[in-house]
């Protein structure tokens, strides 16, 4: 397992991060423990969750299930010092039944100072730890002044409850404003940007709120103090299955001639290499250097985790990378 520096913090984290979103709901606790053990045994260290994970899979799920399972695992294994632990606040949903199975955007808790302080304390209780290594604003909150949010996050770092902060699902102009305010006031600046990023490129006219586009990549190249954490790298597994891609919501922001050309090139090369297209996408991301993302996978089963870990063994030549990029 290769590591990479988180921003310019000096902190080394594994380039392949394990997302625990469905642990405690669609992935039962015993299976989750097996997967977490397997990930650490492979050399991984970076485990990602959020306070709202996961209220949507089934009636009775409320959020907090993932953190609770992780807390039990950390206690059972006594391995907190081996894990770079990240969680998120601001996207808690107080009435999950109102939104479960519906397309509208939920009424998130937001990033107010009191809200974040309580959300973090609740997360720490579920996780059974006195601090997290990385704490994200999960969903950018434009209704709350950034000054309030950033001052509160800085206070959480000063209190020793958070080591680093990050932001997720945010547009580039907002990230630049955040960085400017932090520089001006001496507040804790984000060192991680968690966005959706994959081999397919967003189509013209797509909604770019949560998806990395060319402008955001350019911004990250100019600001190496912020690391890209790429979530949904295999877009719910659509690369392996043409039938699954047809009409899948994950394709909505990508569909078009560019995607068709990329899928054809990817499928051919995966066949030549004897790997799956999903694995090749992960390998492609792990080979990126400008910027160098941290690739976040969220497997539901041990087999899915093993498939993702298999991407670590795929070594792409410069020629193969050029073919994929082109």
> Helix, strand, coil shares of the chain as percentages rounded to 5?
45, 15, 40
* Mean pLDDT value of segment 247-272: 93
Q: Which residues of 117-152 are buried (b: 16+ CB within 10 A; e: fewer)?
A: bebbebbbebbebebbbbbbbbbbbeebebeebbeb
pLDDT at 275: 97
Q: Which residue has the tokens 């299976």?
A: 31
Evaluate if residue 266 carries a pLDDT over 90.
yes
Q: Alpha-carbon distance 75 to 220, whole Å?
A: 37
Supply the mean pLDDT for the chain.
Answer: 96
Where does residue 183 rank: exposed (0-12), middle (13-18), buried (19+ CB within 10 A)?
A: exposed
pLDDT at 205: 78
- Tell me, yes or no, whether 134 lies in a domain: yes
Question: Which residues lie below 8 Å from residue 191, measured CB to CB, with a gap of 6+?
Answer: 6, 7, 8, 9, 134, 164, 165, 166, 225, 226, 227
pLDDT at 289: 93
- Tell me, yes or no, whether 55 lies in a domain: yes
pLDDT at 208: 67
- Tell me, yes or no, whether 153 lies in a domain: yes
- Tell me, yes or no, whether 37 lies in a domain: yes
- Tell me, yes or no, whether 256 lies in a domain: no
pLDDT at 247: 86
* Mean pLDDT value of segment 76-91: 97
Evaluate if residue 103 carries a pLDDT over 80.
no
Domain range for 185 is 3-235+284-316
Check residue 277 and give left, alpha or beta (phi > 0: left; psi -120 to 50: alpha): alpha
- Tell me, yes or no, whether 266 lies in a domain: no
- Tell me, yes or no, whether 259 lies in a domain: no
Strand pairing of 162-168 and 3-5?
unpaired
Q: 184 — phi, psi (to 5°)? A: -70, -40
- Tell me, yes or no, whether 74 lies in a domain: yes
- Which pLDDT tens digit goes with each residue over 223-254? 999 999 999 999 999 999 999 998 888 898 99
- Which pLDDT tens digit goes with each residue over 111-162? 999 999 999 999 999 999 999 999 999 999 999 999 999 999 999 999 999 9
- DSSP helix/strand/coil, 171: coil
CB 23 within 8 A of CB 61: no
Where does residue 243 rank: exposed (0-12), middle (13-18), buried (19+ CB within 10 A)?
A: exposed
Strand pairing of 12-14 and 3-5?
antiparallel
Q: Quick one: pLDDT band at residue 206, thresholds 50, 70, 90? A: confident
* Mean pLDDT value of segment 5-15: 97
- Among 53, 135, 231, 239, the one annotated catalytic: 53
- Which pLDDT tens digit goes with each residue over 289-314? 999 999 999 999 999 999 999 999 99
pLDDT at 101: 79
Q: What's the number of domains the chain is made of? A: 1
CATH assignment of the domain containing 136: 3.20.20.100
Active site residue 53: yes
pLDDT at 280: 98
């Amino acid at each position: 397992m290769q590591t990479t520096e988180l921003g310019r913090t000096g902190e080394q984290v594994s380039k392949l991060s394990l997302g625990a979103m469905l642990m405690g709901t669609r992935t039962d606790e015993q299976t989750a423990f097996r997967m977490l053990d397997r990930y650490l045994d492979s050399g991984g260290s970076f485990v990602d969750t959020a306070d709202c994970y996961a209220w949507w899979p089934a009636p009775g799920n409320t959020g907090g299930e993932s953190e609770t399972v992780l807390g039990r695992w950390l206690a059972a294994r006594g391995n907190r010092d081996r894990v770079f632990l990240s969680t998120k606040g601001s996207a808690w949903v107080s009435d999950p039944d109102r939104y479960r199975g519906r397309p509208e955007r939920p009424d998130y808790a937001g990033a107010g100072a009191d809200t974040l302080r309580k959300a973090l304390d609740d997360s720490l209780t579920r996780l059974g730890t006195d601090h997290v290594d990385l704490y994200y604003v999960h969903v950018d909150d434009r209704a709350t002044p950034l000054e309030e949010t950033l001052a509160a996050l800085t206070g959480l770092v000063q209190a020793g409850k958070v080591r680093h902060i990050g932001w997720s699902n945010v547009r580039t102009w907002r990230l630049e404003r955040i960085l400017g305010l932090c520089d001006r006031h001496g507040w804790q600046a984000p060192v991680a940007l968690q966005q959706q990023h994959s081999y397919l490129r967003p189509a013209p006219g797509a909604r770019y709120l949560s998806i990395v586009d060319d402008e955001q990549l350019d911004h990250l190249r100019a600001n190496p103090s912020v690391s890209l954490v790429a979530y949904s790298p295999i877009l719910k597994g659509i690369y392996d299955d043409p039938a699954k891609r047809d009409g899948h919501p994950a394709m909505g922001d990508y569909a078009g001639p560019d995607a068709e050309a990329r899928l054809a090139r990817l499928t051919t090369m995966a066949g030549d290499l004897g790997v799956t297209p999903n694995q090749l996408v992960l390998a492609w991301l792990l080979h990126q250097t400008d910027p160098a993302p941290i690739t976040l996978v969220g497997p539901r089963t041990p087999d899915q985790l093993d498939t993702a870990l298999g991407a670590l063994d795929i070594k792409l030549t410069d020629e193969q990378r050029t073919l994929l990029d082109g």
